[in-house]
């Protein structure tokens, strides 16, 4: 019998009341020690299509109310959409700054303040434009007994990643992005350089 530690492991669950509704929070850990959580709301049967959102951690947007990105807006919108639907799952992955970490994200912000876009800044620091992995999503969804999903995203890479993991993505549902004067350039770069699906008229 192998004593090798599983790459991803479920830890525990608990009630999580929020101002949008009463969720449950489920903890997961990687062999590296990195921790992630899933929020679930409502109930579903084995073969139901469940609306889900994969959300990468953004301390500045999610917790500090920054408007230079659309992350906090999308997190709140996804949770409200799940409650309005009656059920759903939010996968919250600890992948700050598209995987480069919080302090490197601040360094990238500094470069953006000097005129670079978000992709140029990451690459100037020696990183790929996007270092995120979605492999743990399979373990999270299997634990919650979700096999067929409607994915709330504007990012086609998330769609391809889930399909590559064997998850039945029945539909992609766009999620509002909350364009402001502060984040318009950031969202435009995500559209033009990272393939995100936004209405081009929104930038005019």
In a domain? residue 41: yes
What residues form the annotated binding site for GTP?
53-57, 74, 96-98, 118, 153, 158
Query: pTM for the whole thing?
Result: 0.89
Q: Cβ distance 137 to 162 under 8 Å?
A: yes
Q: How many independent structural domains does the chain possess?
A: 1
Residue 147 lies in a domain: yes
The per-residue pLDDT for 201 is: 44
Task: Give the model confidence (pLDDT) of 60-82 as tens digits.
Answer: 999 999 999 999 999 999 999 99
In a domain, 102, yes or no: no
Considering 62, 70, 117, 132, which one is annotated as catalytic? 132
Query: Looking at residue 5, what is its pLDDT?
Result: 64
Domain span including residue 45: 18-94+131-192
Query: Which pLDDT belongs to residue 198?
Result: 61
Give the CATH number for residue 83. Answer: 3.40.50.10990
Positive or negative: CA dihedral 42, 46, 47, 53: positive
Of 62, 117, 130, 172, the active-site residue reads: 130
68 carries an active-site annotation: no
The helix (H) or strand (E) run that includes residue 25 is: strand 22-30
Residue 71 lies in a domain: yes
- Structure token digits, residue 121: 């800044």
Known catalytic membership, residue 132: yes
On whether residue 141 sits in a domain, the answer given is: yes
Residue 111 domain flag: no
Q: DSSP string spanning 142-199?
A: HHTT--EEEEE-S-HHHHHHHHHTT-EEEEEE-------TTTHHHHHHHHHHH-----
Q: Is 6 within the bounds of a domain?
A: no
Q: Is residue 122 part of a domain?
A: no
Binding site, annotated residues: 53-58, 69, 71, 74, 96-98, 118, 153, 158
> Which residues participate in the annotated binding site for Zn(2+)?
58, 69, 71
Q: Which residues of the chain have pLDDT under 50?
A: 1-2, 200-204
């Amino acid at each position: 019998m192998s004593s090798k530690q599983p790459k991803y492991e479920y830890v525990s669950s608990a009630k999580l009341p929020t101002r949008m509704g009463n969720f449950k929070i489920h903890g997961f850990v990687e062999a590296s020690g990195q921790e992630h959580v899933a929020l679930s709301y409502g109930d579903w049967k084995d073969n139901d299509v469940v609306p889900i959102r994969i959300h990468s951690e953004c301390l500045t947007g999610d917790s500090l109310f920054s408007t230079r990105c659309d992350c906090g807006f999308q997190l709140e919108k996804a949770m409200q959409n799940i409650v309005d639907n009656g059920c759903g799952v939010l996968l919250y992955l600890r992948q700050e700054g598209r995987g480069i970490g919080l302090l490197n994200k601040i360094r990238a912000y500094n470069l953006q303040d000097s005129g670079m876009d978000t992709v140029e800044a990451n690459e100037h620091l020696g990183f790929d434009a996007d270092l995120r992995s979605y492999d743990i999503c399979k373990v999270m969804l299997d634990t919650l007994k979700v096999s067929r999903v409607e994915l709330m995203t504007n990012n086609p890479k998330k769609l391809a990643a889930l399909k590559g993991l064997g998850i039945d993505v029945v539909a992609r549902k766009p999620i509002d992005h909350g364009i402001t004067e502060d984040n318009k350039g950031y969202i435009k770069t995500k559209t033009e350089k990272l393939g995100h699906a936004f209405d081009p008229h929104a930038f005019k």
